[in-house]
Structures are given as structure tokens and as C-alpha cells.
């Protein structure tokens, strides 16, 4: 998992990028980086380690620019070092990526055959190289759509272009991506938590969506490059759910809040008046369920094993558990398949 951020503003963006990256560190912290467009150039800074280290680099050598992208990494392809850290930039385009490009090896081989040179070991760099090629003939949005068509796997992307200092392009397939609206400034980010200190007006991208952010407007397109409208949501001001509060870290908070979270989830299905289970909101008829497969990785797999015990204790349905990374590589959360 990684975290991405993008900001289009009418003022310098690097401090806000750093602050948002600090909020995204729960998603990855083996390296961090940012790129802005300043004086007609892509200005990229990155390092292995935490956002604090990147902040120190910026303190000594500030990054100007009203448009930028940032990244915190948790490596899937290539060791955590400066070259593999995001953004991945060419002369004309810079990319941050959360996800996995499954056909990157093949794409890389093809591109290398045609003389392209790769600097990093990452899957992400194929996106930069493909875009760089396509931008020789196409305008940015078209180049992005053509590149996305060639990718297999999952991604949330933030992209800036040397020759276009007014917009950031975002794209989503599989990995989460939200955009936020403010006065003279718009954002994209892996989650609304990272954007919350800057805005409470949010839209979530669906799979296949692409967005183009300037400092005063956001345009959305579906996977067929057709303009679409999206609903703007207002985030609640409930600090308790979004902030760490008195907990040392988010993990302690999550562990301590487990019983409340479980109650909140189950409450939806409890009819207190009839003292029964309310099935109106349940998407399928439970009688049709023949088998339940619980899948997860790591601690989520252990949750599945515990759930198997309880499900079999309380129902007559057969329960299987499976390690998601072996059978269902695209799933990272504990998931229930109803068969
Ligand atoms: N695959 C990319 C890399 O290794 C992004 C990592 C991720 O999103 O977890 O740099």
C-alpha cells in the first residue's frame, strides 16, 4: 500500500503536500517524495525513509510551484531506496502510483527493445515511460487514456506535466482515490483523511474514472473518456473517528475500538422493536447461501479463522478459509465470499 496526494493551487503547494503525506504515512513509510512544476521544470525530491526526512530536505532546499504531487511508499517492486521512491519522472511528466501494474515486466521488455531506458526497479516507471512516448504526439488527457488502456493491475495515479503548469490528472482502477474542493485550490488523495485539514468537500472516484484538477475546477471522465458529473459529499466533523485522539497510534485506536466498531456494523441488522434480525437491508437472502469462503492475509487471515469458528458454531453453513495472497491477489482486506 502507498499513499498519494496531488494539489493544484494558486499558491505554493509543497507545505500542504508534506502535511498530507504525514497523514498518509499509515499507508506506507519506506520512502517519500514529491514533485512540483516550477519555472517550467519538473522539480522532484525523494528519499528513502519517513516524510520527516523529506521535510528536512525541503527545508534546506525548498520546492516552489503551485502544482504538485506527493507519495509515501510501501514497496511492491524494487527495494526501498531513493531511485525507486516515487514520483517517477521523465523530462516531461511525473507520476505517483499506489497499486501494482501486473503486466509491467512485459511492458518493460517491449519498451527496452525499442531502446527505452529504465532508472528504477519499480512497476510504476513503465507508466512514466509510456506517457512520455505518447505525449510526443498526444495532448495529456488522451495520452493518459491510451496509457491506462495498456495497463493491467491496480492503480491510483497522480500525474503532472512539465508543459502544463495548470493541472494535475488523477486516475483510479482498484486502488482508492478521492478529490477535495477548496477556494482557489483542489486536491486528490488516497483518502479523505489526508485532505480533511484542507477541505470537507469530497468526491470519491469510481473504478475507471479519471479527473483533471485545476485550482478552480475539477472535471471527471469515465473509462470511455466521456465527461461525467460526480456528487460532492460533505465530510462530518466527527473528530473522534478521524483523529488519533489520546491513542499513541492508529493501530492502538483501531484495536481499542474493535468492540464499538463491531456493534455499529451489526446494529444495522438488529430490529430492537421485534427483537429480531432485520434482513431488509441485507443484499441477499441468507437461505440461498450454501457456502461461505472467508479470505484474508496476515492478521486478517487469523480473523477469518476466528470467524470460521463462530460461523460454524452459530450456523449450519459450510465455511472455508483461504489465504488471499495465494488465491485472490487483488484483495487485501478480510473479505467474505457468499457462494
Ligand atoms: N508498485 C509500486 C511500487 O512498488 C507502488 C507500491 C504500492 O502502492 O504499494 O513502488
- Over residues 144-172, the pLDDT tens digits come to 999 999 999 999 999 999 999 999 999 99
CA distance 198 to 98: 22
124 Cβ below 6 A of ligand 1: yes
Residue ID of nearest Cα to ligand 1 atom 9: 1
How confident is residue 70, by pLDDT bands cut at 50, 70 and 90? very high
Q: What is the pLDDT of residue 75?
A: 94
How confident is residue 274, by pLDDT bands cut at 50, 70 and 90? confident
Q: What is the pLDDT of residue 253?
A: 84
Q: Percent of the chain, pLDDT > 70? A: 93
- Which numbered atom of ligand 1 lies nearest the CA of 75? 4
Quote the ligand 1 centre to 122 CA distance (angstroms).
7
Quote the ligand 1 centre to 163 CA distance (angstroms).
26
The answer to whether the beta carbons of residues 75 and 30 sit under 8 Å apart is: yes
CA distance 310 to 313: 5
46 Cβ below 6 A of ligand 1: no
Checking if the pLDDT of 339 tops 70, the result is no
Q: With CA atoms as reference, report the closest residue to 97 among 114, 66, 120, 117.
A: 120
- Which numbered atom of ligand 1 lies nearest the CA of 84? 10
Q: What is the pLDDT of residue 281?
A: 61
Average pLDDT, the chain: 90
- Which numbered atom of ligand 1 lies nearest the CA of 97? 5
Paired sense of beta strands 291-296 and 318-323, if any: parallel
- Which numbered atom of ligand 1 lies nearest the CA of 28? 9
Most confident residue range from 50-54, 274-278, 279-283, 331-335: 50-54
CA 33 distance to own-chain centroid: 15
For 291, phi then psi, to 5°, come to -150, 145
The answer to whether the beta carbons of residues 202 and 177 sit under 8 Å apart is: no
104 Cβ below 6 A of ligand 1: no
Q: With CA atoms as reference, report the closest residue to 66 among 198, 244, 206, 187.
A: 187
Give, rounded to a whole angstrom, the gap between the first and last alpha carbons of the chain.
29
E strands along the chain, which residues? 3-9, 31-38, 41-48, 67-73, 88-89, 93-101, 153-161, 164-173, 178-182, 185-189, 201-204, 210-213, 218-221, 227-228, 233-234, 270-271, 276-277, 291-296, 318-323, 335-338
2 Cβ below 6 A of ligand 1: yes
Q: What is the pLDDT of residue 247?
A: 84
Pocket probe mutation, ligand 1, options 30, 76, 87, 102, max atoms within 8 Å of Cβ: 76
- Which numbered atom of ligand 1 lies nearest the CA of 101? 1
Q: Which residue has the cell 456493534?
A: 263
Quote the ligand 1 centre to 98 CA distance (angstroms).
5
The answer to whether the beta carbons of residues 129 and 185 sit under 8 Å apart is: no
CA 10 distance to own-chain centroid: 25
Checking if the pLDDT of 241 tops 70, the result is no
Quote the ligand 1 centre to 281 CA distance (angstroms).
37
CA distance 327 to 317: 22
The answer to whether the beta carbons of residues 48 and 80 sit under 8 Å apart is: yes
The answer to whether the beta carbons of residues 114 and 176 sit under 8 Å apart is: no
Q: What is the pLDDT of residue 333?
A: 53
Quote the ligand 1 centre to 69 CA distance (angstroms).
15
Checking if the pLDDT of 255 tops 90, the result is no
Query: Minimum mean pLDDT among 49-58, 193-202, 224-233, 248-257: which range?
Result: 248-257
Checking if the pLDDT of 284 tops 90, the result is no
What are 25-41's pLDDT values in tens digits?
Answer: 989 999 999 999 999 99
* Torsion sign (Cα): 24, 25, 31, 36: positive
Q: What is the pLDDT of residue 238?
A: 67
Helix, strand, or coil (residue 300): helix
Across the range 52-60, mean pLDDT stands at 96
Q: What is the pLDDT of residue 125?
A: 98
Quote the ligand 1 centre to 337 CA distance (angstroms).
27
For the stretch 260-291, what's the b/e string if a residue is b when 16 or more beta carbons lie within 10 angstroms of its beta carbon?
A: eeeeeeeeeeeeeeeeeeeeeeeeeeeeeeee
What are 92-128's pLDDT values in tens digits?
Answer: 999 999 999 999 999 999 999 999 999 999 999 999 9
Checking if the pLDDT of 24 tops 90, the result is yes
Amino acid at each position: 500500500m502507498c499513499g498519494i496526494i496531488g494539489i493544484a493551487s494558486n499558491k505554493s503547494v509543497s507545505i500542504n503536500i508534506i502535511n498530507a503525506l504525514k497523514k498518509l504515512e499509515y499507508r506506507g513509510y519506506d520512502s517519500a517524495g514529491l514533485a512540483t512544476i516550477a519555472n517550467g521544470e519538473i522539480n522532484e525530491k525523494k528519499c528513502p525513509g519517513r516524510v520527516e526526512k523529506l521535510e528536512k530536505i525541503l527545508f534546506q532546499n525548498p520546492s516552489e510551484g503551485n502544482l504538485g504531487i506527493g507519495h509515501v511508499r510501501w514497496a511492491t517492486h524494487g527495494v526501498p531506496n531513493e531511485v525507486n521512491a516515487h514520483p517517477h519522472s521523465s523530462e516531461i511528466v511525473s507520476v505517483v502510483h499506489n497499486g501494482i501494474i501486473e503486466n509491467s515486466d512485459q511492458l518493460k521488455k517491449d519498451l527496452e527493445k525499442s531502446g527505452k531506458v529504465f532508472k528504477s526497479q519499480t512497476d510504476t516507471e513503465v507508466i512514466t515511460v509510456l506517457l512520455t512516448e505518447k505525449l510526443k504526439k498526444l495532448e495529456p488527457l488522451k495520452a493518459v487514456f491510451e496509457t491506462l488502456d495498456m495497463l493491467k493491475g491496480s492503480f491510483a495515479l497522480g500525474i503532472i506535466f512539465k508543459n502544463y503548469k495548470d493541472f494535475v490528472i488523477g486516475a483510479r482502477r482498484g486502488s482508492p482515490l478521492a478529490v477535495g474542493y477548496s477556494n482557489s485550490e483542489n486536491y486528490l488523495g488516497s483518502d479523505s483523511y489526508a485532505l480533511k485539514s484542507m477541505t470537507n468537500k469530497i468526491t470519491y472516484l469510481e473504478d475507471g474514472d479519471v479527473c483533471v484538477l485545476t485550482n478552480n475546477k475539477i472535471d471527471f471522465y469515465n473509462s470511455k473518456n466521456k465527461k461525467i458529473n460526480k456528487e460532492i459529499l460533505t465530510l462530518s466533523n466527527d473528530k473522534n473517528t478521524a483523529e488519533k485522539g489520546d491513542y499513541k497510534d492508529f493501530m492502538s485506536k483501531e484495536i481499542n475500538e474493535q468492540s464499538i466498531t463491531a456493534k455499529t456494523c451489526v446494529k444495522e441488522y438488529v430490529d430492537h422493536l421485534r427483537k429480531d434480525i432485520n434482513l431488509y437491508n441485507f443484499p441477499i437472502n441468507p437461505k440461498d447461501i450454501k457456502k461461505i469462503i472467508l479470505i484474508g492475509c496476515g492478521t486478517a487471515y487469523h480473523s477469518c479463522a476466528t470467524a470460521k469458528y463462530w460461523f460454524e458454531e452459530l450456523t449450519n453453513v459450510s465455511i472455508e478459509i483461504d489465504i488471499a495472497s495465494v488465491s485472490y491477489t487483488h484483495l487485501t482486506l478480510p473479505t467474505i465470499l457468499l457462494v
